[in-house]
């Protein structure tokens, strides 16, 4: 009788309810990545340096430029120059922080899909890039109004929508190169050094090669990332061939390395 009662009691016990874990939404991943980009000392000071150097650079136009160059374009280009150097560093650190700060194991445990994490980092980088360029245009506008008034000149607003879009694309491509190097190398110091080699050393080598080898002169615009970037910043990318050159350099320096880096990242060990 006792055994029967015990068996009956055991069968009447309810099984524990299993709760299925909800996936972390992409919007939350992007917010986290945005926070992680600037809650370190390096990210914070990079952001501060943009806020300090952009107005100083814009102010230098009024001090050193002739009256004919006191225009909206000059002030905007000057305010955006520090960003063109600093934003790729931010993009690099956005990726390499998981490995340099050894937080990758925690991140990829909470979100096993590494593609989602890298995608969130890429989207956060895009938001920072667009926001920073918007600040450059705003600083340029303030500099143009104040500078023209101080110089006793009429304000010249000489940036068209096409030129503005190309300036935005210029900065986003620069960030994309930094982001790609971060994915490929996954080391902050190595990626930063590689970026300066690609943006400063490699263009000089390619220009020299084009000067001493006539067959390379026509090939250079199709493989020289700096060449197409300068054309893009100056608003000279207008024809279909010039856009094709930009697409070719983007494929060589961003798309192919990024695909290789993503394939390697998905198989690499995280410590």
pTM: 0.85
Would you place residue 60 in the very low, low, confident or very high pLDDT band (cuts 50, 70, 90)? confident
Per-residue confidence (pLDDT) for residue 160, from 0 to 100: 85
pLDDT band at 35 (very low <50, low <70, confident <90, very high): confident
In angstroms, rounded to a whole number, what is the distance separating the alpha carbons of residues 58 and 65? 11
Structure tokens, 177: 């190169």
- For 152-164, what is each residue's pLDDT tens digit? 888 889 888 888 8
At 8 the pLDDT is 46
pLDDT at 15: 54
Does pLDDT of 100 surpass 60? yes
Q: Give 96's pLDDT tier (boundaries 50, 70, 90).
A: confident
- pLDDT per position as a tens digit, 139-156: 999 989 988 888 888 888
Using CB atoms within 10 A of its CB, is residue 37 exposed (0-12), middle (13-18) or buried (19+)? buried
Of 33, 136, 139, 135, nearest to 91 by C-alpha is 33
Over residues 217-235, mean pLDDT: 86
Question: Averaged over 247-269, what is the pLDDT?
Answer: 89
pLDDT at 106: 74
Tokens 């300090």, residue?
52
CA dist list (Å): 31 to 107, 117, 125, 170, 175: 14, 12, 11, 25, 19
Q: End-to-end CA distance of the chain: give it in Å, rounded.
A: 58
Computed over every residue of the chain, the mean pLDDT equals 84
Confidence category of residue 259, pLDDT binned at 50, 70, 90: very high
Return the residue matching tokens 């667009």: 130
Residues with Cβ within 8 Å of residue 213, at least 6 apart in sequence: none
**Do the Cβ atoms of 132 and 50 come closer than 8 Å?**
yes
- Give 167-220 pLDDT, tens digit per residue: 899 999 999 999 999 999 988 899 999 999 998 899 889 989 988 888 888 899
């Amino acid at each position: 009788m006792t055994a029967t009662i015990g068996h009956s009691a055991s069968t009447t016990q309810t099984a524990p309810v299993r709760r299925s874990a909800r996936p972390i939404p992409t919007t939350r991943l992007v917010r986290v990545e945005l926070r992680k980009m600037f809650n370190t000392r390096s990210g914070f000071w990079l952001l501060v340096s943009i806020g300090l150097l952009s107005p100083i650079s814009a102010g230098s136009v009024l001090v050193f430029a002739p009256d004919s160059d006191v225009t909206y374009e000059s002030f905007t280009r000057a305010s955006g120059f520090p960003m063109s150097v600093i934003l790729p560093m931010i993009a690099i650190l956005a990726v390499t922080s998981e490995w340099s700060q050894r937080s990758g194991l925690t991140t990829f445990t909470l979100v096993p899909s590494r593609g989602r994490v890298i995608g969130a980092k890429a989207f956060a980088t895009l938001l920072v890039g667009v926001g920073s360029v918007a600040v450059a245009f705003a600083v340029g506008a303030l500099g143009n109004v104040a500078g023209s008034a101080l110089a006793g000149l009429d304000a010249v607003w000489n940036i068209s929508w096409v030129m503005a879009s190309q300036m935005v694309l210029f900065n986003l491509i620069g960030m994309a190169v930094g982001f790609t190097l971060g994915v490929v190398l996954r080391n902050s110091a190595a990626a930063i050094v590689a970026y300066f080699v690609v943006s400063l050393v490699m263009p000089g080598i390619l220009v020299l090669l084009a000067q001493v080898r006539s067959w390379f002169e026509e090939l250079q615009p199709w493989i020289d990332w700096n060449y197409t970037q300068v054309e893009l910043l100056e608003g000279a990318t207008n024809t279909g061939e010039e856009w094709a050159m930009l697409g070719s350099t983007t494929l060589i320096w961003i798309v192919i390395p990024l695909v290789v880096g993503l394939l390697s990242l998905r198989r690499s060990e995280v410590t």
